[in-house]
């Protein structure tokens, strides 16, 4: 397929980026976010709270311990990661799609010295910011439940940022080929929800059948959870570095792809 | 930057734009000089929007060359874009932000300092008669107000070239007139403008020079009045009669008739001697007992030119190009 070949070739070209302008794109999104954040933050934050209550406290009452942890200690830190993931995924699908198509925000920006690469990079940074913000708000909730046991928890934004940046990248790739809003249902059903369920948020991945045990290793959420949980509980060891490297390498390998694909969709 | 009248702002040579197998612009040449209002006229699908999108660096050039401010557009488009203002066909304002924020945020894309951006925003709101709306959220503005804001936003960087893609499509006549007044003032201030439109009145009111595009090629080029004079003369005489009898009726009057066109069941005669022709036609019709159900003498206009050149009307209900408006 010549189209795929061209796409791959373009992924290896240098992006046209101007960081001062990327921050302007980010600032624009932030300004719009400030108008709606109250309604917005509730929507993304009530759901993990319900999980924490229903599963952490409700179901958790029947679980003696997981790897020496109470169930709420096991679950709550992981929900920081998953709630961040969901808020980023929503923003970079429904939100970005609206800006890209109906509102034609991207078109307006590229009529100025801003390039399409700047626009998409600004989106990625905004998606990352939003995920980290929501994750940190949930960290406060988790702290109120008495689960945060170590000052190491203050380092959570770093693995969280890398993980939600990957979610931004994956979501924007999907958005760049999405024909309409309905198609995002597939993205959540096929990618985000399975990741939520099988990345060691609710149960240790060792419980998976041998043939499927490698699957969580492929997901960014698993690696983030494996760092965030020990940071919250003060049980950090060297394995955190491996997970952090996995996340960083994934970002570096994929970040060019949505830039190329969004440009392909919009510029003809 | 000061633009001299003689300076060439845009130079296109053999400009081609293709979308897959469809050729939207078929190798056209034109230049736009400093201080002029240059119109691209044509029905939907003529290639107008494709041309302007190439000029502001959005759409890549398929073939030929296109220089803006003397530089190849495919090279440094950031510097070129910094000197252009674009009014797109569809509003792409930030609906959740206020009028004021829309201007200031947009100024940021040009890396304008905050105080500079704010003083520009104030000037623009006053010029566009939107000062009272400054704190209003864009979502709640009327169509005409949004358009004015979109045009104002395009002026934020004091552009050396203002590109307007169908600036008044979808506006009511009153709102359209207000936009025209503002554009005329910009023109008087020496702003170079490129305007696409399918409204003939807009083209004749605003443009110094026109390019008539049809299916990606140039049909004609010239000042609006000149085009009217060249092709259809000063008046049009519309006659409702059996077209078969036209030959008889017009016999001997050929020297008065510059051109003729059948439009539905009406015959339109173009002439420089309107009254004379109308009187003679009436007299002959009486003499020969030919029934004329309707007779109207009016000033000819660009619509007539377009009709004569293409055999189609500008609103394009005759035939649609594949791919619609490009």
Number of domains in chain A: 1
3-state secondary structure B174-201: HHHHHHHHHHHHHHHCCCEEEEEECCHH
* Facing residue for A27 by CB, picked from B81, B108, B154: B108
Question: For residues B4 and B34, is the Cβ–Cβ distance under 8 A?
Answer: yes
Name the least confident of A120-124, A237-241, B278-282: B278-282
- DSSP line for A149-206: --GGGGGTHHHHHHHHHHHHHHHHHHHHH--STTHHHHHIIIIIHHHHHHSSSSS-GG
Q: How far is CA A132 from CA A128, B1, B308, in A?
A: 6, 44, 64
Mean pLDDT, residues B136-163 taken together: 95
Has residue A43 got a pLDDT over 50? yes
Q: Per residue in B247-306, pLDDT tens?
A: 778 777 888 888 888 877 788 888 888 888 888 888 888 888 888 888 889 888 888 888
pLDDT at B269: 87
Has residue A79 got a pLDDT over 70? yes
CA B22, B25, B30 angle in degrees (round to 5)? 175
* Facing residue for B92 by CB, picked from A21, A35, A108: A108
List the one residue out of B294, B279, B230 whose CA is nearest residue B258: B230
Q: Which domains does chain B have, with CATH numbers?
A: 1-83+159-222 (3.40.50.300), 95-152 (no CATH), 234-299 (3.30.70)
Beta carbons of A32 and B94 less than 8 Å apart: yes
pLDDT at A1: 58
Mean pLDDT, residues A45-52 taken together: 84
pLDDT at A123: 98
| Interchain contact B82–A (C-beta under 8 A) | yes
Q: Is A183 exposed, middle or buried (0-12, 13-18, 19+ CB in 10 A)?
A: middle
Q: Per residue in B154-200, pLDDT tens?
A: 999 999 999 999 999 888 889 899 999 999 999 999 999 999 988 88
Beta carbons of B88 and A18 less than 8 Å apart: no
Has residue A257 got a pLDDT over 80? yes
| Interchain contact A65–B (C-beta under 8 A) | no
Q: Per residue in A58-67, pLDDT tens?
A: 988 898 899 8
- Res. B310 pLDDT band, cuts 50 70 90: confident
Mean pLDDT, residues B79-103 taken together: 95
Tokens of A246: 């996995």
Sheet holding B22-33, edge to edge: B22-33, B8-19, B63-68, B71-72
- Res. B3 pLDDT band, cuts 50 70 90: low
What is the distance between the alpha carbons of residues A162 and B114, in angstroms, rounded to a whole number?
32
pLDDT at A175: 98
Q: Is the dihedral of CA B204, B208, B214, B220 positive or negative?
A: positive
3-state secondary structure A226-256: HHHHHHHHCCCCCHHHHHHHHHHHHHHHHCH
Which carries the bigger pLDDT value, residue A39 or residue B209?
Answer: B209
How many residues does this entry show for chain B? 326
- DSSP line for A30-82: HHHHHHHHHHHHHHHHHHHHHHIIIIIIIGGGG---BTTB-HHHHHHHHHHHH
How far, rounded to the nearest angstrom, does the alpha carbon of residue B283 sit from its chain's CA centroid?
Answer: 40
| Interchain contact B101–A (C-beta under 8 A) | yes
Question: Residue A116: which domain range?
Answer: 2-266
- DSSP-derived pairing of the beta strands B161-165 and B192-197: parallel
Which carries the bigger pLDDT value, residue B301 or residue A22?
Answer: A22
3-state secondary structure chain B: CCCCCCCEEEEEEEEEEEECCEEEEEEEEEEEECCCEEEEECCCCCCHHHHHHHHCCCCCCCEEEEEECCEECCCCHHHHHHCEEEECCCCCCCCCCEHHHHHHHHHHHCCCCHHHHHHHHHHHHHHCCCHHHCCCEHHHCCHHHHHHHHHHHHCCCCCCEEEEECCCCCCCHHHHHHHHHHHHHHHHCCCEEEEEECCHHHHHHHCCEEEEEECCEEEEEECHHHHHHHHHCCEEEEEECCHHHHHHHHCCCHHHEEEEEEECCEEEEEECCHHHHHHHHHHHHHHHCCCCCEEEEEECCHHHHHHHHHCCCCCCCCCCCCCCCC
* Facing residue for B81 by CB, picked from A32, A35, A112: A112
Q: Is the dihedral of CA B36, B37, B42, B48 positive or negative?
A: positive
What is the distance between the alpha carbons of residues B144 and A54, in angstroms, rounded to a whole number?
52
What is the distance between the alpha carbons of residues A243 and A222, in angstroms, rounded to a whole number?
9
Report yes or no for ipTM above 0.85.
yes
What is the distance between the alpha carbons of residues B154 and A90, in angstroms, rounded to a whole number?
32
Q: How far is CA A129 from CA A8, B94, B117, B121, in A?
A: 28, 20, 26, 29
Per-position b or e across A231-244, b if 16+ CB within 10 A of its CB: bbbebbeeebeebb
pLDDT at B315: 53
- DSSP-derived pairing of the beta strands B37-41 and B209-214: parallel
Q: Give the mutation candidate from A108, A109, A118 for the B interface (greatest B CB count, under 10 A).
A: A108
pLDDT at B2: 53
What is the distance between the alpha carbons of residues A175 and A259, in angstroms, rounded to a whole number?
12
What is the distance between the alpha carbons of residues A64 and A67, in angstroms, rounded to a whole number?
10
Has residue B312 got a pLDDT over 70? no
Question: For residues A263 and B60, is the Cβ–Cβ distance under 8 A?
Answer: no
What does residue B126 show for φ and ψ, rounded to 5 degrees? -65, -45
Q: Per residue in A127-183, pLDDT tens?
A: 999 999 999 999 998 999 999 999 999 999 999 999 999 999 999 999 999 999 999
CB pairs under 8 A between A and B: 70
pLDDT at B33: 95
pLDDT at B326: 42
Mean pLDDT of the residues in chain B? 88
Mean pLDDT, residues A202-210 taken together: 92
- Res. B243 pLDDT band, cuts 50 70 90: confident
pLDDT more than 70, % of chain A: 99
How many residues does this entry show for chain A? 268
Q: How many CB atoms lie within 10 A of CB B34?
A: 18
Which carries the bigger pLDDT value, residue B101 or residue B43?
Answer: B101
Reduced to 3 states (helix: H, G, I; strand: E, B; else coil), residue A131 is helix
Beta carbons of B109 and A18 less than 8 Å apart: no
Has residue B316 got a pLDDT over 50? no
List the one residue out of A142, A18, A11, A124 whose CA is nearest residue A74: A142
pLDDT at A6: 87
Query: Which residues in chain B are contacts of A112 at CB distance < 8 A?
Result: 81-82, 106, 109-110, 157
pLDDT at B183: 94
Query: Which residues in chain B are contacts of A3 at CB distance < 8 A?
Result: none
Q: Which residue reads 């400093």 in tokens?
A: B34
pLDDT at B313: 57
- Res. A117 pLDDT band, cuts 50 70 90: very high
pLDDT at B324: 40
- Res. A89 pLDDT band, cuts 50 70 90: very high
């Amino acid at each position: 397929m010549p189209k795929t070949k061209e796409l791959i070739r373009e992924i290896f070209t240098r992006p046209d980026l101007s960081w001062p302008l990327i921050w302007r794109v980010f600032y624009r999104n932030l300004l719009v976010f400030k108008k709606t954040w109250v309604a917005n933050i509730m929507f993304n934050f009530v759901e993990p709270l319900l999980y924490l209550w229903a599963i952490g406290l409700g179901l958790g009452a029947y679980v003696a311990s997981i790897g020496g942890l109470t169930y709420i200690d096991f679950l709550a830190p992981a929900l920081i990661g998953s709630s961040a993931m969901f808020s980023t995924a929503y923003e970079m699908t429904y939100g970005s799609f609206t800006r890209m198509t109906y509102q034609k925000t991207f078109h307006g920006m590229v009529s100025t010295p801003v390039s399409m690469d700047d626009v998409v990079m600004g989106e990625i940074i905004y998606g990352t910011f939003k995920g980290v913000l929501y994750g940190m708000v949930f960290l406060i909730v988790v702290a109120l439940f008495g689960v945060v046991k170590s000052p190491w928890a203050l380092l959570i934004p770093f693995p969280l940022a890398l993980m939600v940046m990957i979610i931004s990248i994956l979501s924007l790739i999907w958005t760049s080929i999405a024909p309409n809003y309905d198609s995002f249902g597939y993205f959540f059903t096929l990618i985000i929800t399975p990741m939520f369920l099988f990345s060691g948020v609710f149960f240790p991945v060792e419980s998976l059948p041998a043939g499927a045990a490698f699957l969580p290793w492929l997901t960014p959420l698993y690696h983030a959870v494996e760092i965030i949980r020990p940071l919250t509980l003060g049980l950090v060891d060297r394995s955190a570095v491996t997970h952090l490297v996995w996340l960083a390498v994934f970002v570096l390998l994929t970040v060019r792809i949505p830039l190329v694909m969004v440009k392909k969709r919009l510029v003809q | 930057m000061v633009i001299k009248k003689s300076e060439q702002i845009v130079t296109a040579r053999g400009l081609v734009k293709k979308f897959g197998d469809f050729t939207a612009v078929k190798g056209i040449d034109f230049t736009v000089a400093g201080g002029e209002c240059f119109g691209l006229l044509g029905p939907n699908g003529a290639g107008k929007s494709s041309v302007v999108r190439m000029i502001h660096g959005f759409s890549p050039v398929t073939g030929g060359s296109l220089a803006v401010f003397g530089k190849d557009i495919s090279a440094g488009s950031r510097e070129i874009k910094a000197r252009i203002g674009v009014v797109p066909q569809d509003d792409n304002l930030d609906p959740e932000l206020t009028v004021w924020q829309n201007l200031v945020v947009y100024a940021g894309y040009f890396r304008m300092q905050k105080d500079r951006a704010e003083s520009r925003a104030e000037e623009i709101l006053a010029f566009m008669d939107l000062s009272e709306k400054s704190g209003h959220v864009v979502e709640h503005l009327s169509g005409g107000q949004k358009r004015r804001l979109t045009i104002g936003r395009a002026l934020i960087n004091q552009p050396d070239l203002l590109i307007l893609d169908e600036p008044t499509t979808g506006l009511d006549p009153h709102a359209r007139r207000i936009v025209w007044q503002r554009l005329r003032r910009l023109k008087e201030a020496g702003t170079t403008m490129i305007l696409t439109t399918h409204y003939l009145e807009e083209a004749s009111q605003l443009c110094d020079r026109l390019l008539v595009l049809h299916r990606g090629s140039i049909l004609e080029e010239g000042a609006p009045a000149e085009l009217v004079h060249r092709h259809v003369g000063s008046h049009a005489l519309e006659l409702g009669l059996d077209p078969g009898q036209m030959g008889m009726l017009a016999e001997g009057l050929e020297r008065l008739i510059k051109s003729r066109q059948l439009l539905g069941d009406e015959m339109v005669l173009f002439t420089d001697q309107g009254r004379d022709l109308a009187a003679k036609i009436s007299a002959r019709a009486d003499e020969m007992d030919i029934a004329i159900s309707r007779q109207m003498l009016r000033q000819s206009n660009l619509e007539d030119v377009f009709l004569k050149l293409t055999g189609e009307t500008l609103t394009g209900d005759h035939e649609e190009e594949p791919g619609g408006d490009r």
